Amino acid sequence: MSEIIKTNEVYYEYRSHEEDAQPVQAVNGVSLAINQGEFVVILGRNGSGKSTLARLFNALLLPKEGTVYICGMVTHNEEHLWEIRKDLGLVLQNPDNQIVATTVEEDVAFGPENLGVPPQEIRQRVDSVLKLVGMESYAGHSPHMLSGGQKQRIAIAGILAMQPKCIVLDESTSMLDPSGRKEVMEVLHKLNRNNHITIVLITHHMDEAVEADRVMVMSHGKIVLKGRPREIFGNIEAVRMAGLDVPQVTALAHQMIKRGVPLKTLPIDQSEMIQTLKEVLANRSSRVPDIAPSYFEEQSSSEKAEAIITLKDVEHIYMPGTPYEQKALNKVSMTVYKGEILGVIGHTGSGKSTLVQHFNGLLKPSSGTILVDGQEASGKALKELRSKVGLIFQYPEHQLFEETVYKDITFGLNKLKLDQEEIKRRVFHVIDLLGISPDLLNKSPFELSGGQKRRVAIAGVLVMEPKVLVLDEPTAGLDPKGSRELFQVLSRLNRENGTTIVIISHNMEEIASLCHRVAVMRKGELVLCDTTRKVFSRSQELKSYSLDVPRVTALFEALSQEGIRLPAPVLTVREGAEILSKLIQGNTGGEGV
């Protein structure tokens, strides 16, 4: 097999703007080889150097030391520059920032146009690659009307039109919703299988790594683990050391082993897990032991709880009276209770964001009423409302603007006419809660890392001490460790300060582990609103709204269908491990301990 990518002890460093600062070693001695036709996933936390590595492959950056060979050509030889970029295409993270042209087909044609391909041939290539990514019916469309997943498929088509041998995707799925991610992953596997295009996918979604031929884990500029997905995920400690996580099924098996269940192999997907469990349970009585754990008695105390936000028949129509008129909310009535964590889920475009923007009066209902903390949300009350209900948008770090972190955090507070002592008290309270180091307060927010920026942006809302905190996809783009830390902060905030939290997320595992109740939106309507356990017990219904359930929940359902009777639904890995361990150990008479 021929090597598409080969690097030899490659180093790259970024120089900081400040003169006395140490340069940052982004890539710190990487040697690797990727063969023709492979599907390789590179995993790593934000800032682990994986994006720099992608740019070294494409000769957008040249190594400070060491050599990168692409199809046998050395990247720092300028003669080969265009050939290297033709053979190895790069798809970037943000779908919006890599589309050049104003129609889909003209954008796909951009690469071949630059290569000087004759017009008739460009036409043929454009038509055939659009078919490959399943976007042929959008040829004449304007790209900004497409969904994120569609935009990324266009970007892939644009690379394919240059007839590359290899495509490198730098976190290209991280800004997509689950269905968009699925679309892109299907296209990539198809291209790898049928067209023998080498794929190098950089990501921090573990599930995308399961189906790869090989996985490499990067940490601090180095490749710390290399191997088949099974080998990598079998080494849970090392994966977690790198700030990453393993698929839920693997984590479940790992916890079971810790509880003393003898599993011979670590399964990495659902069918393997079922197989493993069947073997363990084989030839044993299918008697379900008494395994109702404590949390099944948990009941929503919401009936007694006090309402903090009440919506009655709320409708919202965008651009009424124009051809673009669109009913974004249709007769939504719901209640958010004081002190709860409410999850809001729904397919992209189902009206989730529109809904929560009504909570703090950013949007006014076309009809219907909204009561917040006993006050009707209208007219003069709106301003007061915004300090009661804090709303954190997607990618909140994009709203930072002040010279220093301190000034940015206090931006909203200054309008409340508080004395400086009180302001200071609040700032220090919030940064302690969010784990922002006080040293950062006098730095420019633009110097911080992505994760730090997000915390600062969240701090700017938290200092207003809102009674309700609304977050629109707070973990989008964060790596597993960053997400976990943020979720810890949120549950602490809920527990200690009693802050009511409303959270929009596409990540069902996050919702299941954090939320007390879940509201499900579909095409502007609230179709379901109940305790998390009840909502996720209706997986068929959720599926019809193009929504998933957490992987553990799905596994337990599949197990029931296999005839293994279990008290479904299970929401978290911990619950699942407890139940399965009891089941197996109960059946084996405790011999496994």
Partner 1 sequence: MIQNITLGQYIPGTSPIHRLDPRTKIIWTMILMVAVFLIQSLPEYIMMGCFTLVLLLVSSVPIKYALKGLKPLVFILFITALLNIFFVGGRTLVSLGPVTITYEGLIAAVKLFFRLVMLVLTASLMTLTTTPMAMTDGIERLMKPLEKIGVPAHEIAMMMSIALRFIPTLMEETERIMKAQASRGADFDTGSIFSRVKSFIPVLVPLFVSAFKRADELAEAMESRCYRGGKGRTRLKSIAFTSLDLTTTLLGLLFLLLLFGFRLL
| Of residues 299 and 322, the one with the C-beta less far from partner 1 | 322
DSSP 268: -
| Of residues 97 and 285, the one with the C-beta less far from partner 1 | 97
| Order of all β-strands in the sheet with 65-70 | 24-35, 3-14, 65-70, 73-74
Binds partner 1 by CB under 8 A, chosen from 22, 78, 79, 97: 97
Q: Give the shortest CB-504-to-partner 1 separation in angstroms.
A: 14
Binds partner 1 by CB under 8 A, chosen from 53, 169, 370, 464: 464
Binds partner 1 by CB under 8 A, chosen from 26, 41, 42, 126: 126
103: nearest Cα among 149, 158, 177: 158
Enumerate the β-bridge partners of residue 227.
Answer: 215
Q: Which of the residues 76 through 95 are near partner 1 (CB under 8 A)?
A: 82, 85-86, 89-90, 92, 94
Enumerate the β-bridge partners of residue 311.
Answer: 334, 370
114: contact with partner 1 by CB under 8 A = yes
Exposure string of 340-361, with b = 16+ CB inside 10 Å and e = fewer, is bbbbbbbbbbbbbbbbbbbbbb
| Secondary structure element (H or E) that encloses residue 465, with its range | none
294: contact with partner 1 by CB under 8 A = no
Report whether 513 contacts 338 (CB < 8 A). Answer: no
Q: Which of the residues 373 through 412 are near partner 1 (CB under 8 A)?
A: 383, 386-387, 390-393, 396, 398-401, 411-412
319: contact with partner 1 by CB under 8 A = yes
502: nearest Cα among 383, 494, 206, 191: 494
Q: Which of the residues 146 through 175 are near partner 1 (CB under 8 A)?
A: 155, 158-159, 162
User: Residue 462 to residues 23, 454, 465: CA-CA distances in angstroms?
Assistant: 34, 12, 5
Show the site string, 497-516: x = touches partner 1 by CB under 8 A, - = not: --------------------
| Of residues 188 and 471, the one with the C-beta less far from partner 1 | 471
| Of residues 295 and 446, the one with the C-beta less far from partner 1 | 446
Binds partner 1 by CB under 8 A, chosen from 106, 136, 207, 213: 106
Report whether 201 contacts 212 (CB < 8 A). Answer: yes
116: contact with partner 1 by CB under 8 A = yes
416: contact with partner 1 by CB under 8 A = yes
Pick the piece of the chain touching partner 1 (CB under 8 A) from 20-28, 112-120, 192-200, 487-495: 112-120
282: nearest Cα among 593, 557, 562: 562
Query: Cα(169)–Cα(201) distance, rounded to whole angstroms?
Result: 5
Residue 136: phi and psi, rounded to 5, are -65, -30
Show the site string, 429-448: x = touches partner 1 by CB under 8 A, - = not: -----------------x--
* Residue 538, token pair as written in the block: 């209706």
Query: Cα(255)–Cα(261) distance, rounded to whole angstroms?
Result: 9
Binding site for partner 1 (CB under 8 A): 55, 58, 60, 82, 85-86, 89-90, 92, 94, 96-103, 105-106, 109-119, 122-123, 126, 140, 142-144, 155, 158-159, 162, 319, 322-324, 357, 360, 362, 383, 386-387, 390-393, 396, 398-401, 411-413, 415-416, 446, 460-461, 464
